[in-house]
Structure 1
C-alpha cells in the first residue's frame, strides 16, 4: 500500500516548524488525515504535539552532554543512531494508510542536505525503494528576507539545488515569511526571485561606489566590509549565480504561513508531486432519494 509524505527542510530560522503547523491546521480544516513526525533532536516547542518524536529515541542535549560533542557533531551522531534503529520509524509508520499525509519536520543544519550521505540513506528507507513505500516530496524553505542580500539569496539557492541533486526525490522550493518583505519590495520585484538568474546581480543594491575596488591604503583587507565589497567576492557571487542558472533546476513558491490560501497553494504543488489525489479511493455517491410521487405534498 502506498503512503504519502512531505519532508520539510531548510536552514535554521527559515520557518520549518511554522510551516508544519500551518500545514497541519490546513489539513485539519479540510478534514484530511496527517501524521506529524519530528526529526529534529533539538526541537522543544510545538504548536501540535508530534505523533512521533525522535527525542523519544535520542536527543541532541543528551548526546552533547554524554559524548562531549558540539551541536553539529551531535546532530550527525543522532542521525547515525537513527539509521541504526530504523524500526523506530518503521513500526509506527507502516500501518498508516494512503489517506494520511506524513509530515517530517527536519533540523536546520544544512550540511545534512548538501554533502553528508546520511539523509539519502534515510530517504531510501522511507521511499518506494525501501521498507515503507512512501511517495515523498521534499520542500526546501528559504527565508524571503534573503532576497534583500543577493549574495545570501544565491548561497541559499545553491544549498537548495545541492539538496535536490543529493536526495533525488520530487522537490518544491519555498520562499517563506513573505509578510516580512511586503512593505520593502514590490510584487514585480519579488517575481524576479522566483526563477534565479544572473541578471539579479546586475542591479544589486549592495554594489555601492566602492564595490569591486581594491582596499584603500591603511584599511584592513580582512574586515567584513572590505571582503563583502571586494572584487573577488563579486566574482564568486557571479560564478555561483551562473552555476545555478546553467542547471536551471531551482524555482520558488511564495508562502505566507498565516494565509490559508497561500498554504493551500503550496500543498497543491506537494500533492501533485506525490500524486496524492490519484491514489485516493473514489467516494461513493449518495443513494438517490426515493420520492413518493403519490404524496400530494411532493
Structure 2
C-alpha cells in the first residue's frame, strides 16, 4: 500500500484532486481509496472510504469543551492523532494499492501541529509521498510565487516526505500565463529576472537572496501543471508519484508500466 498526502492552501483544489487521482488509478485497474482527514469539512466532491469525521466530531467538541469553530478544529486535529490506530485499522481492512489522504483545508492544522507530523510519520504503508498544490490565483506575481515556494519547502521540511509540486486548476488560466508560470518555476534565473520588476527594492533584495539560498540547496519548484477538470497533466503527476513511491513502476492491466 502506498500513501499520497495532498496539501495546499485553502481553495487550492485538494479535495477535487484527491477524487480525480482515485478515479485515475481505478481506471488503470489499481485499487485506490480516499482518507479524509478534515474533521470540519461539510461537503466533499467524493464519498470518503475512510472518514475522520466518524472518529472526531466538531459539534461534540464544541459542546463538550465550550469552544468556537476555530478552537474545536485545533483540538480536533490533536485528537485525530489519538485515533490513528483505529484509522489505520480501517484502511488496512480495505487493503488498497493506494490511499489518497485529503488533508484539512486549513493546512496549518495538519502541517504545523505536532499531531499532523506524527500522523504522517506513523501511518504505516510501504512508501509515502506528498503533493503540494500551488493555486494559480495566488502565484500571480514573482514574489507571490516565491512565497508559496517557501511554504512548499517548509511543508517538505516539516513532514519529511518526498514531495511533488503541482500547479493546480490550470483550466482557469490563459495558456500564455501558464507557460510563464511553468518556465519561472523551472528556471530560477528567469524568476530572478522577473523579480527585478518589483518596485520595492527591499523586497526585491530579500526575494533574490531567498531564491539564491534555495538554489544553493538544490531546491527547485519544478511545477507540474494539472487540471482536475480536464485531467490534463494527470499522467505526468502519476509518473512523478510512481518514481517516488516505487522507483518508476506502476500497474496497468496487471502489468508493470514504467513512467521514467
Same fold (TM over 0.5): yes
Q: Which residue number corresponds to residue 148 of structure 1?
A: 140
Q: Secondary structure at the match of 1:144?
A: coil
Query: For residues 73 and 101 of structure 1, do their structure 2 counterparts lie closer, same or farther at Cα, with a shift above 3 Å needed?
Result: same
1:29 to 27, 30, 39: 27
Deviations, residues 98-120 of structure 1 (Å, cap 9, x unaligned)? x5211100013232465432222
**Per-residue deviation, 1:173:** 1.0
Which residue is equivalent to 1:243?
213
Query: 1:246, CA displacement in angstroms?
Result: 2.7
Question: How has the CA–CA distance of structure 1 residues 124 and 15 changed in structure 2, closer, same or farther, with 3 Å as cutoff?
Answer: same
Taking the aligned partners of 1:156 and 1:281, their CA distance within structure 2 comes to 34
Q: CA RMSD in A?
A: 2.9
Match of 2:151 in 1: 159
Secondary structure of 2:137's aligned partner:
helix
Structure 1: 5+ residue stretches without partners:
127-131, 213-230, 285-298
Q: In structure 2, the residue corresponding to 1:146 is in which secondary structure? A: coil
CA shift in 2, pair 1:114/1:193, >3 Å = farther
User: CA, structure 1 residues 76+100, in 2 after alignment: closer, same or farther (shift >3 Å)?
Assistant: same
| TM-score normalised to structure 2 length | 0.84
8 Å CA contact retained: 2:184, 2:190: no
**Against the structure 1 CA distance between its residues 59 and 157, is the aligned structure 2 distance closer, same or farther, given a 3 Å change threshold?**
farther
Question: Structure 2 matches for 1:210-225, cutoff 5 A?
Answer: 211-212=199-200
1: distance between equivalents of 2:206 and 2:248?
44
Most deviating of 271-280 and 171-180: 271-280
CA displacement, residues 149-180 of structure 1 (integer Å, 9 cap, x when unaligned): 22221111111111111212221111101122
Partner of 2:188: 197
Bigger helix share: 2
SS at match of 2:39: coil
Counterpart of 1:7 in structure 2 is 5
> What is the CA–CA distance in structure 1 between the aligned matches of 2:87 and 2:157, rounded to whole Å?
25
Q: Is 1:107 matched with 2:78?
A: no
**Superimposed CA distance per residue, residues 220-263 of structure 1 (whole angstroms, 9 cap, x where no aligned partner):** xxxxxxxxxxx433333333333333322232211111233521
Structure 1 residues 35-114: aligned runs within 5 Å? 35-64=33-62, 66-69=64-67, 71-97=69-95, 100-112=97-109
Q: TM-score, normalised by structure 1?
A: 0.74
8 Å contact from structure 1 (residues 4, 276) kept in 2:
no
Decide whether the 8 Å contact of 1:144 with 1:177 is kept in 2: yes
Contact 2:10–2:105 (8 Å) recurs in 1: yes
- Give the aligned length: 254
How does 1:249-288 map onto structure 2 within 5 Å?
249-250=219-220, 251-275=222-246, 278=249
On the 8 A contact 2:135/2:168 being kept in 1, the answer is: yes
Identify the range of structure 1 (157-166 vs 140-149) with the bigger mean alpha-carbon deviation: 140-149
Aligned match for 2:117, one of 102, 117, 120? 120
CA distance in 2, matches of 1:161, 1:70: 31
